[in-house]
A and B are shown apart, each in its own frame.
Chain A
Amino acid sequence: MNLKALKCTLTSSLAQIILIDREGTLLGSCHSVADLRKIEGLSAYAHFPLLIGMQQAFEELKTPSEKAQLPMVEFSLGERKGFFDFEFSIHPENPDQIIWLIKDRTDVYTLLQQIQQERNLLLIEKEDLKNGRQFDR
């Protein structure tokens, strides 16, 4: 196995590509993070409501080089629940199809969430002290 193939093998569970058409039908997927074969041919909008909110963004994508990026999404992809970065772009060979690139960033964003949580709680405590009043939050 050459290094490129080895890299693909080692990192395949960290990213997934899904192909949808402009009507929202899920055309295909590489299934490397989650197996979506059961919903191929069905409405991606029905299974992933988040995509409904991206319809306007899809309409604004005109060339394959344009990307619609949606970072830090807490999401369930099939059985896999975690934090993901999403990137949407037009298929370079078919402008009627949208490529949905999903990167699993659960490890790093879980750590970030813990840090953010501690920071937020400290800020609230500080504000309560400043205001001279504690609440049973």
Chain B
Amino acid sequence: MDSSKWISKKIALLGSHAVGKTSLISQFVEQKFPESYLTTIGLKVDKKSVEVDDYTVDMVIWDIAGQDNLAQIPHYYINGCSGIIYVIDITRPSTFEDLGAKIEMIKGMAKDAEIIVTANKKDLLSAEELEATLANIEPRPQFATSAKFGENVEELFHSLAENMIKSHESQGA
């Protein structure tokens, strides 16, 4: 492997409780959907390498317990993050209330991080319902995913990896 094309990046998944953060990671890392919901408390860390263009990106994925108040997240959970996926549950409006303000807050907490918003649990809505709901969310999520069926999950993490590489290259690192 060309060592100049290998990078290791810390990423974090944020969002309210039970939006599917752990399930998205499980689907991405192990291609498995957990049989039953078990809430995450605190933090779990996983790792997966992805190939993007000429790069091998080691994604160290921090699965952070659901939080309604971002200010309560321990500093070191976010410190040093290059990428953040903010997850909402498309069937629960409470998980995307004040989304714009939350994203701005995250930008303040992780200044150098690339941020992507995904609307998870798309499998619970019809295509029409999904589009109508997404159209009313500001800012509009870049992805709509189903952790249960693996829809757009690979694409979500791949897109974040691409964004992190662009940022990495623009920094001349």
Measured CB to CB, the residues of A under 8 A from B are 49-50, 52-57, 68-75, 83, 109, 112-113, 116-117, 120-121, 123-124, 127, 131, 133, 135-137
Q: Tell me whether B80 and A135 are in contact (CB under 8 A).
A: no
| Apart from the given pairs A52-B60, A72-B41, A124-B92, 14 other A-B contacts in the complex at a CB distance below 8 Å | A52-B10, A53-B62, A54-B80, A71-B74, A75-B45, A109-B42, A116-B41, A117-B38, A120-B18, A120-B66, A135-B91, A136-B124, A137-B37, A137-B121
State the CA gap A33–B135 with chains docked (Å).
51
Q: Tell me whether A73 and B91 are in contact (CB under 8 A).
A: no
Does B93 interact with chain A (Cβ within 8 Å)?
yes
Q: Tell me whether A120 and B41 are in contact (CB under 8 A).
A: no
Measured CB to CB, the residues of B under 8 A from A are 8, 10, 17-18, 37-47, 58, 60, 62, 65-66, 74, 76-77, 79-81, 91-94, 121, 124
Chain B residues, CB < 8 A from A54 = 76, 80
State the CA gap A70–B64 with chains docked (Å).
12
Q: Out of A57, A109, A136, name the residue touching B79 (CB < 8 Å).
A: A57
State the CA gap A52–B12 with chains docked (Å).
13
State the CA gap A60–B40 with chains docked (Å).
28
Q: Tell me whether B76 and A73 are in contact (CB under 8 A).
A: no
Interface of A is mostly: helix
Q: Tell me whether B39 and A116 are in contact (CB under 8 A).
A: yes
The number of inter-chain residue pairs (CB within 8 angstroms) is 85
Chain B residues, CB < 8 A from A71 = 42, 74
B77 to chain A, nearest CB (A): 8
State the CA gap A55–B82 with chains docked (Å).
13
State the CA gap A75–B41 with chains docked (Å).
12
Known: A55-B80, A117-B38. Contact between A74 and B44, CB under 8 A? yes
Chain A residues, CB < 8 A from B58 = 52
State the CA gap A73–B80 with chains docked (Å).
17
16 residue pairs of the A-B complex, CB under 8 angstroms, read A50-B62, A53-B62, A55-B80, A69-B74, A71-B74, A75-B44, A83-B41, A109-B42, A112-B41, A113-B39, A116-B41, A117-B38, A121-B37, A127-B93, A135-B124, A136-B124
